[in-house]
């Protein structure tokens, strides 16, 4: 039942490969770009400059499922070095820094822009719910999910983003 609900949400949140822009977010296969500062403010990350496979996870320190999936995301990043895994905090920078230190988060963390909700909406998250994950292959959306990621979800995302990939 849970898997069916997640698949339905994915279809609503990200769309289908043949869907066109509806004003509610991009569809699979469309380019998604943004620029956000790193949590420490030392640099900026622009999605369009990240080549290959990229997993972007929006999270918050008060979000139970976000906290539960963090170890899975870190394990995924270690097991799949071909992926760039980025976390986008929806919290104030000081709160996010404290959380990252306390939980020993090793992944790259980005600060939210002026409107993190608008950024999530642009990728298909109409409700603004957390956690929310978007996967890119060469800057194009290849998968996404609202809700906590399980290992089978990460396997599904990996398959969706690597099928038909150029060598």
* pLDDT (0 to 100) of residue 68: 97
Angle CA 162–85–106, to nearest 5: 145
Alpha helices in the chain (DSSP H): 2-14, 64-79, 93-102, 116-122, 151-162
pTM for this entry: 0.82
Distance CA 140, CA 29 (A): 5
pLDDT at 77: 98
Task: Quote the CA–CA distance of 156 and 162 in Å, as a whole number.
Answer: 10
d(CA 150, CA 69): 7
Per-residue pLDDT of the chain (167 residues; tens, 9 = 90+): 333 333 333 333 333 222 222 234 678 899 999 999 999 999 999 999 999 999 999 999 999 999 999 999 999 999 999 999 999 999 999 999 999 999 999 999 999 866 889 999 999 898 889 999 999 999 999 999 999 999 999 999 999 999 866 54
pLDDT at position 126, please?
Answer: 87
Which CATH number is correct for 2-162, 3.40.190.10, 3.40.50.1100, 3.40.30.10, 1.10.3720.10? 3.40.30.10
pLDDT for position 3: 34
Interior angle at CA 34, CA 11 and CA 111, nearest 5: 100
- Give how far the C-alpha of residue 134 lies from the chain's centroid of Cα atoms, to the nearest Å: 4
């Amino acid at each position: 039942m849970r898997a069916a609900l997640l698949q339905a949400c994915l279809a609503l949140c990200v769309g289908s490969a043949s869907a066109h822009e509806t004003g509610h977010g991009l569809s699979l296969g469309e380019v998604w770009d943004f620029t956000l500062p790193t949590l420490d403010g030392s640099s900026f990350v622009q999605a369009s400059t990240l080549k290959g496979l990229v997993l972007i996870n929006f999270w918050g320190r008060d979000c139970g499922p976000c906290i539960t999936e963090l170890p899975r995301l870190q394990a995924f990043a270690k097991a799949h070095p071909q992926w760039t895994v980025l976390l986008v905090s929806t919290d104030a920078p000081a709160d996010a820094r404290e959380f990252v230190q306390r939980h020993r988060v090793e992944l790259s963390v980005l600060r939210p822009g002026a409107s993190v909700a608008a950024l999530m909406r642009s990728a298909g998250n109409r409700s603004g719910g957390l956690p929310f994950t978007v996967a890119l292959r060469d800057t194009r959306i290849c998968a996404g999910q609202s809700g906590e990621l399980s290992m089978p979800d990460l396997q599904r995302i990996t398959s969706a983003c690597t099928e038909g990939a150029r060598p």
